[in-house]
Amino acid sequence: MSAALQIDQRLGKGWSKPHFIKNPIIRWGFLLAIIVYLYLAVNSIEVNWARISEGLSRGWEFIKAFSNPDFTSRGGDIWDGMVESIVITITSTVVGIMISIPIGLGAARNIAPLPVYLICRGIVSLSRALNEIIVAILMVAIFGFGPLAGFITLSFATIGFLSKLLAENIEDMDKVQAEAIKATGSSWLQWINYGVQPQVMPRLIGLSIYRLDINFRESAVLGLVGAGGIGATLNTAFDRYEFDTAAAILLIIIVIVMALEYLSGIIRARVQ
């Protein structure tokens, strides 16, 4: 086909952007399916307008409570709950990191033998698939109420998070550096120490601090199912409609999270 012919064919005809899904039947069918789904889904939500309008004033009270939070009247409870949350956060992060390092090494295909790899990947998948709250419920059932259940839950969750990312990081590392160390005749441990560790350390530190942040946020809800921390105090405050106390707790959580995020930003910038 000559170019001259082509341009004549094109002139005077409309142009529209090529569609993302080329087949028009699939495209319109897809759109229709979405609309039908949204219609059904929205209709299946039961809305009790009377209850909501009654609740709106309470919602407004809660918003007002933020401008006037009450730190003092349940100060003792808040303090104890916060300390417990922080304690759970610190212990579970430390223990979680210590366990995730060997598991992370085992879950990296390029340094672990296949049986070890499969076992470690299995642990990682299990830990990632189970929601923290569900694990916490089971731990409370097994170990009884209290921060120990929370500590075990978060340690377990930390393993799934950190091992997976550590393993991926090791799999992505620069092979040449590691090979150079191997070529010196180092033992396996020396090889990990000199060839692998320097490459993954900055990221491991960054991830650990990020996980500290996540663990703190999670520790705030563990109390809802009896696994210790500030959550129990918060739950009580909501049950009694003590919004000013609840607002105080939420503000403390927000401030601590912001501080942790700021801190992690500084530390990550320094190690990299």
Partner 1 sequence: MLQLKKLTKTYKTGDQALKAVDLEIPAGQVLALIGPSGAGKSTLIRCINRLVEPTSGSVLLKGENITKLGSKGLRRARRTMGMIFQEYALVERLTVMENVLSGRLGYVGFWRSFLRKYPQSDIDEAFRLLDRVGLLEMADKRADELSGGQRQRVGIARALIQNPALLLVDEPTASLDPKTSRQIMRLICELCEERRLAAVINIHDVALAQMFVQRIIGLKLGELQFDGTPQDLTEDVLTRIYGEEDWLATIKKVEDDEAEELDS
Partner 2 sequence: MPINQNNGVKSWRLHTQKQSLLRWFGYLGAVAIFMYCWNKISEVTTWFFVWDAPRIASDIGSRAFPPRWSYMDKLWGPIWDTFNMATIGTILALMMAVPIAFLAARNTTPSAFFIRPVVLFIIVATRSINSLIWALLLVAIIGPGVLAGLIAIAIRSIGFCAKLLYEAIEEIDLKQVEAVTATGASRWQVMAYAIVPQILPAFAGISVFRWDINIRESTVLGLVGAGGIGLQLQSSLNTLAWPQVALILLVILFAVVIGEWVSAKVRGAII
Residue (48 or 187) nearer to partner 2, CB:
48
Interacting residue with partner 2 among 101, 225, 227, 232 (CB under 8 A): 225
- By three-state DSSP, how is residue 2 classified? coil
CA 3 to chain centre: 56
Residue 3 contact, options partner 2, partner 1, none, Cβ 5-8 Å cut-off depending on partner type: partner 1
If binding is defined by CB under 8 A, does position 5 make contact with partner 1? no
C-beta separation of 117 from 109 below 8 A: yes
CA 200 to chain centre: 21
**CB 26, min distance to partner 1, A:** 19
Structure tokens that stand for 168 in this block? 């991926």
Point out which span in 57-65, 69-77, 171-179, 197-205 binds partner 2 (CB under 8 A): 57-65
Residue that is written with structure tokens 């694990």 in the block: 135
- Region 7-66 residues binding partner 1, contact defined as CB under 8 A: 7, 10-18
**In terms of C-beta density within 10 A (0-12 exposed, 13-18 middle, 19 or more buried), how is residue 176 classed?**
exposed
Residue (14 or 185) nearer to partner 1, CB:
14
**How many other C-beta atoms can be found within 10 angstroms of the C-beta atom of residue 43?**
8
CA 4 to chain centre: 59
- Region 164-203 residues binding partner 2, contact defined as CB under 8 A: none
CA-to-CA distance for 84 and 212, rounded, in angstroms? Answer: 15
C-beta separation of 177 from 191 below 8 A: no
**CB 236, min distance to partner 2, A:** 11
Enumerate binding residues for partner 1 (CB under 8 A): 3, 6-7, 10-18
Enumerate binding residues for partner 2 (CB under 8 A): 38, 41-42, 44-48, 51-52, 55-56, 58-59, 62, 83-84, 86-88, 90-91, 94, 129-131, 133-134, 137, 141-144, 146-148, 151, 217-218, 220-221, 224-225, 228, 231, 234-235, 238-239, 241, 246, 250, 253-254, 257-258, 261
